[in-house]
Amino acid sequence: MPNGIKRIGVLTSGGDAPGMNAAIRAVVRACVYHNVECEGIFQGYQGMIEGDFKRLNERSVAKILGRGGTILKSSRSKEFMTEEGRKKAFENLKKNGVDALITIGGNGTFTGAHIFQKEFGIPVIGIPGSIDNDLYGTDHCIGFDTATNTVVDAVDKIRDTATSHNRLFFVEVMGRHSGFIALKSGIATGAIAIILPEDEMSVDELVETLRSTEESGKTSSIVIVAEGSKSGGAYEIAKTVTEKYSEYETRVSVLGHLQRGGNPSCYDRVLASRMGVAAVEGLLQGRKDVMVGIINDRESYTSLEESITRANVPNRDELRIARILSI
């Protein structure tokens, strides 16, 4: 085979994201298509350390395209952060005849993959699976579209209650360091304000916005808060706002891990399928230590180091648009 690759290992690591199964399916079937064997590694890097391997074929991944979660399971391995742990993992790869590795996950997953590649020289390609959409080198990460649609569906339901009772709802969404979900869902649901880690709206600014819209006749409102807001979470912000502006009856809803589950959207299924094939073919073409991405609807490859050290930030013009439309 090209570059001597006869068997590729695939794993999922870190937080799960809708569409990971579609990516696994694409990797396995692309391997079969190119006459390369595929080894499934369960429980992420911890499974690599413990030797939790299983040979996969085209039938192994039947009927998983539309399933959420990951059939390979996932974990965060502290042992893999040590040289001894990574050495055990490498020995298990060689024992099982694995010549190259595809890792599906986010920032932590790629950090581990980059170090592993440097230490042992085994070719590694990453597939970005993160609902936060925070990895540099791709327009969208697997799971982001589905998670955002989940938020929109939930907020639409919350708005029914907000309107019925003339309430102000603070809805907290995922995004410890990234405001992509908050921004997109905020625009899509007509939120009066969106509070992001990258562009913080002060409580005083928020109160002034609420006062202005209340004077124009608005009787209920939705504020979307990314969990990584510098002003605190939704509960803390709601409390501070209530102390300064008590005209609204206030409620808080934290969507939490609801956003990580569910069947992937059409967009995420197609995105994951394209990335899975591109990862396998990238390895067979001699690429390594890179992340596969889709930029302007074309497959691209970005170094793992760049993907984890450069920030992928929301479009600030969309934040301006959100403020224009919230009046």
The full length of the chain comes to 327
Q: Mapping DSSP to helix (H, G, I), strand (E, B) and coil, where does residue 102 land?
A: strand
- Structure-block tokens of residue 8: 């590729």
289 vs 86: CA distance, rounded Å:
16
CB burial of 78-113 (b: ≥16 within 10 Å; e: otherwise) equals eebeeeebbebbbebbeebebbbbbbbbbbbbbbbb
Q: Residue 142's beta-bridge partner residues? A: 129
Out of 16, 52, 99, 132, the active site residue is 132
Token match 């059939």: residue? 71
Please check whether residue 104 is in contact with residue 13, taking contact to mean a CB–CB distance below 8 angstroms: yes
Question: Does 132 participate in catalysis according to the annotation?
Answer: yes
220 vs 241: CA distance, rounded Å:
15
* Rg of the chain on CA atoms, in Å: 22
Please check whether residue 157 is in contact with residue 321, taking contact to mean a CB–CB distance below 8 angstroms: no
Please check whether residue 169 is in contact with residue 162, taking contact to mean a CB–CB distance below 8 angstroms: yes
Active site residues: 132
